[in-house]
């Protein structure tokens, strides 16, 4: 989930940026735009205000903000993914490469431990 923040209130702008540091993105590349001004005809808009008709009512906590944004993100993507799923043919997942990589790393780790133990006791 990529989020852009556009607020008139500098305090709210900074607070939202601090809460959403791992999700911040530019307005062009974002999935959701968080604003403190009501916006019309924009599905990506997420309205934060003390009004009852806002998407998130102030005051709010970081967890409330993230939960509300995740819900909005899911609702936006539900339509897109539903259409994509109808057009895709499901392919079975193959874990062969992953299994081989894990086996290789485990063997390598085991060899390194044995070398360390042998070196310790040979002294």
Phi-psi region of 33 (alpha: psi -120 to 50; beta: other; left: phi over 0): beta
- What distance in Å separates the CA atoms of residue 48 and residue 13, rounded to the nearest whole number? 11
Spans of all domains in the chain: 3-87, 94-123
CA atoms within 13 A on the CB side of 32: 25
Q: Supply the pTM of this predicted model.
A: 0.60
Q: What is the pLDDT of residues 104-119, one digit of tens each?
A: 899 999 999 999 999 9
Q: What is the pLDDT of residues 73-84, one digit of tens each?
A: 988 887 655 555
């Amino acid at each position: 989930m990529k989020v852009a923040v556009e607020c008139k209130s500098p305090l709210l702008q900074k607070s939202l940026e601090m809460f959403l540091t791992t999700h911040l993105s530019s307005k062009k590349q974002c999935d959701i735009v968080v604003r403190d001004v009501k916006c019309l005809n924009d599905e990506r808009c997420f309205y934060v205000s003390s009004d009852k008709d806002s998407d998130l009512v102030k005051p709010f906590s970081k967890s409330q903000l993230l939960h509300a944004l995740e819900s909005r993100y899911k609702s936006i993507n539900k339509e897109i993914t539903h259409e994509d799923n109808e057009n895709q043919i499901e392919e079975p997942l193959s874990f062969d490469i992953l299994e081989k990589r894990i086996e290789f790393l485990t063997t390598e780790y085991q060899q390194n431990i044995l070398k360390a133990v042998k070196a310790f006791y040979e002294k």
